[in-house]
Amino acid sequence: MMEEPLTENTEILDGPQAPKQSRFAERFQLFNQNRLALVGLVIFLAFFITAVAGVVLTSGQDPVFNPALVRLQEKLLPPFSRPNLETLKAHEAPTLGIYLLGTDDLGRDVFARMLQGAWVSLTVGFVAVGIAVIVGIFMGGLAGYYGQGGICYDQILSLLLLLSGIIFFFLGWVKLGCGLFGVGIIIFILSLTARRAKGNHFMPGWLRKTAFSFDTLIMRMVDIMLCFPSFFLILTVVALLPASIYNIMIIIGLTSWMGTTRFVRAEFLSLREQDFVSAAKALGVGNFRIIFRHMMPNAIAPVLVSSTIGIATAILTEAGLSFLGFGVPPPYATWGNILSDGKRFIFDAPWLTFIPGVAILIVVLCFNLFGEGLKDALNPKLSQE
Amino acid sequence: MFSFIGRSIVQKTITLFFVSVVSFLIIHLAPGEPSQIDPMNPKFTPEMVERFQKEFHLDEPLYVQYVYFYRDLFTGKIVSWKDNQSVLSKIWERFLNSLPLFIVGTLLTWTLSFPVGIRSAIHRGGIYDRSATFFSYFLISIPGFFFAYILIILVVRVFHVPVIGMETFGMGDAPWPNLFMDRIWHLLIPSLLGATGGIAVLSRYVRSQMLEVEGQDYVRTARAKGLPPDQVHYKHALRNALLPFVTMFGLILPGLIGGSVIIESIFSWPGMGRMAYEAILARDYPIILTVNFLSAVLVLAGTFISDLLYLAVDPRIRL
Amino acid sequence: MRSEKPLLSTQDLKVYFYGRDKISRAVDGVSYNIHAGETVCLVGESGCGKTVSALSALGLIPSPPGKIVGGRIIFKGKDILGLDDAAMQKIRGNQISMVFQEPLTSLNPVFTIGDQIGEAISTHEVIGQDALENRCVQLLRDMEIPSPEQRLKDYPHQLSGGQRQRVMIAMALACNPDLIIADEPTTALDVTVQAQILNLLKSVQEKASMSILYITHDLGVVSGIADRVYVMYAGLIVEEGNTQQVFGNAFHPYTRGLLASLPDREKRGQRLHNIPGTVPNPAYKPEGCPFHPRCSHAVENCKTVLPEMISLGNDHWSRCPVLAREL
């Protein structure tokens, strides 16, 4: 006897499916697989919390842990040593009853200084990389997206005329100055309108041609910056400028944007050609929206990875600068400072070098591991089995 | 092909020009006077300051100074402001000191990175790979001078070998082999230090390149043809994986004039890095600018050579 | 049943891929036989496991994450699944060769054509330089590639797609293998080139009395060259028979669906037939017959019981008990 065939039930047509996961959840899961990266993340969070706690606990008029308090009679004590209470005034005694990490050559509590230094080192890293990333995304995005557009001959011409007009005006040749300025204005207006109106050519074709495209311009700037050995450049500028924490952050930032620019430009160049961009354009989506909503998320991945590693590099650079005497000036403590101050006492008080050294090592190591883990997790090739 | 070379040279010359302008501006626009003519410095009488200014054209507008500077540079007449010696001869002398460091360091880096990276890739995930990875991260993350001090303490305490400076003081009359060994000992630690960072980075890169190539279709074809694993890895995969590294050869060039400031400071090694550092401290503009210029020349020459090497090695690119 | 023993016999092959939290059962109990001089076609859509089963014959499954979990592959009387790599090297390229789908990426871009073909020969035979070169030229000539002497010195990127595939075939034929496995060799090529390559394979086979295992999803190709057809779905063979049996008288809903989907002059103007639903993910296969969610003939039993292959007579088999009852 023939069994009745099942009625066509469209719901079961596709059979069991893989459990659906949002893209973020999938990437997060991938990241979790990587043990080392997880450890990196955990320690980074610990570092972050320490830094925040540090700045809270060590700033203000009467901080919980005082990093700046000088007690010459207590100098160069090893970690875990007890304070000599007879020689100290009441408020000078260390908060926890012992010098957790010892004292430096001025009797300052190393533990307190490390706490303060954590926040400063972190800030230096983040701000420097923040500057680099902002500059890099702007330059890279410009080069990648508007690459073919650029400054045209007629724009240059009008600019030159305007400038020379002003110069001559101020030099005394009033009539000539005004005349040039006027011609400059006319050409400027013409150059603007010649692009709006179709078929209305006030401007001969050869003047409307692009002199330098943004792409070439920006990549040349990258090349020029790359010709300077990076540490030298930073050292030179930092040495020539007055010492200040802000200068250091800005300089490190302004010398590390080249990598991000290249990444972003490469991503934009390849994304621009992809079908989904043409599709969006065909639907009439405006340029800005395309960039921010569609292309940016894809381009973010390599930028994110290089930023985490960039923070690590910035912290190491600051340590190097401190070693040479150009680091963040007192009263700020940074781990680089503490490390370099300790170099004079390396045989007498090795903890002054070891503690910040090991601390920097661990934090930078974690950033690097975290960055690599991010890179593997965000790698599209690896997320599709 | 020749048009490529021509265009490349023109482009690089233009870049070089801009680099020279930018570095000149950076130096001269920084606040503060070169220490030689600091009016605050009691050592210098106003007459000396004025004479100094006249001699080095410091009272003239910037673009005139620029022309004078580069004219002097190209004719070799450029002199240091600190001690009036010829900049070029000073650079040359220090360069000869830095050269052994550089050669040994580069040799160590390139000869050790490849075997490590390749082996890590072929035995991916194994003990070798994981420990090599861990060490690489460790070496990249350690602050340079911290590592240096650890090594120094270790070597001095364990081997009782002096490591500071280029040679031990007072060895002048010792027999030739002793002198040689002494030199080697002094050379070893600084070069090793310089190389470790490079090995860490380069071996990771070798590994990732090798892994990428091993996943390609033509490696599968090679296996399917019945080739033994050695041939598959070292003939088919490696040849493709090495392509980007051939071009990196050219980029070794800029390292000639670098010279890690930090390593040279720690070891009191009288090299280029320290000279540049001292020049920065003393605001000795001619030296700073000359070193900068030479470094830019080397970078551009290095990239040029890299491009040429790439042309020669990859059959897919024929201009 | 054919009386002589098959050249290659895959028996209940199971190949699984182990992911983080799931097992992908790419090949789930596949059996097929190839006799000497025969052209066997393995037909199925992407993801049904046909390539994986072929790669297993050469031991080319990447070993994590893949694993051969069961079954045997008997080649010339010996089970080659158990052989170590050194022994497999003697078989690869020599007795069993493979031609892959993408000729551009399957050839090493930095070696010349001559190098790569020559290598295929010199790995398995001791041969002098001149003799080697002559063999290569002759192979290219057999592949109907013009000016073969010059071609030897060219690099893969200098050749057209069709020429590259001919080179791949030349490499596969270099040592006169008993069996060539061709994995969708013409999918990446134009239709006209496709026809040329197919004719080439056919003529080579006749001359050397070689067997071909041809893997494809294109039924048109199958009807042209196959002696025997195996239809695969979700890691299983669902129907097998000779070409007339499968094309003229299919007895599995999937085969019928595939055949019905072919555009046909006689159906001009009508809507194209399609099989509703999608191919299952090898890690999440349905219970019972893997095709049942998309099948219009499915009954209650199909949801729970995985059917065995049922003989329809004359060495024609099907895995559908429902349709088999129509006999």
Using CA coordinates, name the residue in chain C closest to A18: C284
- Map residue B1 onto helix, strand or coil: coil
Span B256-287, pLDDT tens digits: 776 678 888 888 888 888 888 888 887 778 88
Helix (H) or strand (E) holding C41: strand C39-43
Contact A258, A226 (CB under 8 A): yes
Residue C216: φ, ψ to 5°: -160, 165
Extract the tokens encoding B142.
Answer: 């350690």
Q: Work out the minimum CA distance from A17 to partner chain C, whole angstroms.
A: 6
Name which of C165, C166, C157, C168 is nearest C110 in CA terms: C157
More confident residue, B108 or B153: B108
pLDDT attached to residue A159: 78
CA distance C109 to C159: 11
pLDDT higher than threshold 90 for residue B75: no
Report residue B158: phi and psi, to 5°: -85, -45
pLDDT surpassing 70 at residue B34: no
Rg, chain B, Cα only: 25
The interaxial angle of helices A110-145 and A351-378, nearest 10 deg, is 30
Question: CB-based contact (8 Å) between C164 and chain B?
Answer: no
Nearest CA of chain B to the CA of C173: how many Å? 10
Say which amino acid occupies C295: C
| Residue C40 pLDDT exceeds 90 | yes
Residue of A217, A231, A236, A315 for testing the chain B interface, max B β-carbons within 10 Å: A236
Q: What is the pTM of this model?
A: 0.78
> Is B208 within 8 Å of chain C by CB?
no
* B 280-309 near A (Cβ less than 8 A): 280-281, 283, 288, 291-292, 295-296, 299-300
Task: Identify the pLDDT of residue A1.
Answer: 39
Residue B94 scores a pLDDT above 90 = no
The tens place of each residue's pLDDT in chain A, 385 residues long, gives: 344 444 444 444 555 555 566 666 666 766 666 677 788 888 888 888 888 887 777 776 666 777 777 777 767 777 777 777 666 676 666 667 777 777 777 777 888 888 888 888 888 889 999 999 999 888 887 887 776 666 777 777 777 888 777 777 777 777 777 888 888 888 777 777 766 655 555 666 666 666 667 788 888 888 888 888 888 888 888 887 777 888 888 888 988 888 888 888 887 777 777 776 677 777 777 766 666 666 666 777 788 888 888 888 888 888 888 888 888 887 777 888 888 888 777 777 778 888 888 888 888 888 888 887 777 777 655 434 3
Verify whether the Cβ–Cβ distance C277 to A13 is below 8 Å.
yes
Residue B163's pLDDT is 66
Query: Do B221 and C108 lie within an 8 Å CB cutoff?
Result: yes
B221 and chain C in contact, CB less than 8 A: yes
* Closest chain A C-alpha to C298 CA, distance in angstroms: 6
Give CA–CA dist B215/B228, Å, rounded: 17
Closest CA in chain B for residue C121: B225
Residue C136: pLDDT band by 50, 70, 90 thresholds?
A: very high
- Does residue A15 belong to the interface with chain C, where contact is any CB pair within 8 Å? yes
Which whole-number Å values give the CA distances from C26 to A188, B143, C46, in the listed order? 67, 50, 11
Chains touching C (at least 3 CB pairs under 8 A) are A, B
Partner-chain contact B144 A316, CB within 8 Å:
yes
The verdict on A1 touching C (C-beta cutoff 8 Å) is no
Which residues are CB-neighbours of A115 under 8 A, at least 6 positions away? A50, A53, A54, A55, A57, A58, A65, A67
CB of B265 within 8 Å of a chain A CB? The answer is yes
Kindly report which listed range (A364-373, B48-57, C211-220) carries the lowest average pLDDT score: B48-57
Q: What is the mean pLDDT of chain C?
A: 87
Chain C residues with CB under 8 Å of A29 CB are 20
Angle at A105 between CA A102 and CA A111, to 5 degrees: 30
C130 to chain A, closest Cα gap in Å: 44
Distance, in Å, from the CA atom of B175 to the CA atom of A354, rounded to the nearest integer, reads: 40
Which of C60, C100, C155 lies closest to B315 in CB terms? Answer: C155
Q: How large is the ipTM?
A: 0.84
Which among A6, A17, A33 is the nearest to C284, CB-wise? A17
Query: Å from B205 to nearest chain C CA?
Result: 21
CA of C325 vs chain B CAs: smallest distance (Å): 44
pLDDT of residue C107: 92
Give the pLDDT of residue A383. 39
Q: Residue C84, Cβ neighbours under 10 Å: how many?
A: 8
Q: What is the pLDDT of residues C87-120, one digit of tens each?
A: 889 889 889 999 998 888 899 988 999 999 999 9
Residues of A in contact with C283 (CB under 8 A): 18
Instruction: List pLDDT tens digits, range C172-184.
Output: 988 889 999 999 8
For residue B15, the tally of other CB atoms under 10 A from its CB is: 20
Nearby residues of A64 by Cβ (< 8 Å), 6 or more positions away: A57, A58, A95
With CB atoms and an 8 Å threshold, state whether A18 touches C20: no
Q: Which residues of C touch B221 (CB under 8 A)?
A: 100, 106-108, 168, 171
Q: Given pLDDT bands bounded at 50, 70 and 90, which one contains residue C213? A: very high
Whether B170 and chain C come into contact, CB under 8 Å, resolves to no
Contact C106 B221 (CB under 8 A): yes
